[in-house]
Amino acid sequence: MPVTTVMTTDEVAPEERFAYWREAICDVFVQLDAEPVDDAPFDGTIVSSAIGSVELSDVVADAQHVERSPRQISKAREDLCLVSLQTAGVGLISQDGRSVLLRPGDFALYDATRPYTLDFRASFGQLVYQFPRASLVERGVDLPHVTARSLRGKGAGIVVADFLRSLGATGADVAPDAAPRIANHTLDLLATAIASAMDALPEPDSLRSYRRRRVLTYISDHLTEHDLSITTIAEGLGISVRTVHKLFEGDDLTVGRRILAARLERCRRDLRDPLHRHRSITEIAMRNGFRDSAHFSRCFKRAYGTTPRDYRRDPNA
C-alpha cells in the first residue's frame, strides 16, 4: 500500500511550532516562505501520500501567510503544479495578477515555476494535489491563463470537485498497480475542469484560450507523429505559422519545447505503466514521437534527473 506520511506540530514545543511548520511545508510541497498572522499558539498537520505521479496532502492548520518568492524559485526550481481544494475555512490564492477566494468545495490551480501567495486569515483545511507541470501541458492546458481562477464553476467543475474530495478520503488505500491509472484519470479530469472554466470566461480571454487550446490539443493528439512541428500544426488547423507563434508569445515554453515536454511526460508515464512492461525503452520512445533512442535518453535525463532505465527500475526515482 502507499506510504502515508504525517507531519504535525502536536508534539513540538509551542515556541518552535511555526519554525517546524515552515520546514514541513517546504519538505512536502516546494520551497516556500511562511509567516504566522498573529501571536496565537500555532497548530498544523499534514497527512500525505502518493498516488502515482500525484502527491496528495490533507492540510489542517491555523492562520498563516505563505509565499513562493522569486528567491525560493531560484534556489530550487521544482517543475510542479498544485491544486488546492478548500475543505474548511477560507483561503486566498494569488498568482499572475489574479486572486481567487476559496470557500469549502472550491478549488484552484497554481504553478510553482512562478511566484504565488497563499493567505489564510483563520484556521482552514485543504486537500492539496501536487503533480508534474508537464502533465497538464501535455493535456493542452494553457497554464499562464488558468492559475488563480475558481475551477469549480458549474457542470464539469462540480463533478471534478466531488471526485477530488472522494480521492482525498480514499487515496491512501489505492493499490500500487492501480495508482498510475488513477493519477492519469485525476489529471484528465483536472484538465476537463480547467477547459470548462476557461470556456466560461468573457471575451477576449476565452477566445485566445480556445485558440491556444486547439493548438495544445492538436499537439497531444499528434505526439506519435515524428514530423510534428509548428508548420504541421498550422497546416493541420488551417492557420498561419505566424498565428501559432503569436498565440504563445511571452510564454516560458516555445511550441517546440511544449512538444518535447509532452513527449517526455508521456514516455515517463508509459515507463511506469504496468500495461507497457513488455515494451522496450526504445519502443516506448519511438511510439511517442522520438526518432532516436540516444537523443531520447539525453532529453529524459535532463528533464527528470535520471536515465529512463533507472527510472523504470526504481519506483522511488
Q: pLDDT value at position 284? A: 96
β-sheet with 98-102: strand ranges across:
33-36, 64-68, 116-120, 91-95, 98-102
Amino acid residing at 201:
L
* 168 and 215 both lie in a single domain: no
CATH code assigned at 226:
1.10.10.60
Gyration radius of the chain over CA positions: 20
**Residue 76 burial class via C-beta count within 10 angstroms: exposed 0-12, middle 13-18, buried 19 and up:** exposed
Same domain, 10 and 154: yes
What's the total number of domains in the chain?
A: 2
Query: Are residues 146 and 10 part of one domain?
Result: yes
In what order do the strands lie in the sheet containing 44-51?
A: 5-8, 44-51, 54-61, 124-132, 80-88, 107-111
How many beta carbons lie within 10 A of that of residue 89, not counting itself? 19
For position 198, what pLDDT does the model report?
77
CATH of the domain at 14: 2.60.120.10
Would you say residue 193 lies in a domain? no
- 198 falls within a domain: no
Backbone angles phi, psi at 305, to 5 degrees: 75, 15
pLDDT on residue 117: 97
Same domain, 301 and 210: yes
Beta strands in the chain (DSSP E): 5-8, 33-36, 44-51, 54-61, 64-68, 80-88, 91-95, 98-102, 107-111, 116-120, 124-132
CA–CA gap between residue 78 and residue 72 (Å, rounded): 10
Claim to verify: residue 11 and residue 143 sit in the same structural domain = yes
Assign 257 to helix, strand or coil: helix
pLDDT average per 10 residues of sequence, the chain (317 residues) = 85 95 96 93 96 96 96 87 97 94 96 96 97 88 88 86 94 87 94 83 65 86 93 89 87 88 93 91 96 95 93 78
Domain of 41 in residue numbering reads as: 5-174
pLDDT at 315: 66
pLDDT for res 240: 85
Residues 219 and 258 in one domain: yes
pLDDT of residue 314: 80
- Classified as helix, coil or strand, 48 is strand
- pTM for this predicted structure: 0.72
The per-residue pLDDT for 141 is 84
Domain contains 187: no
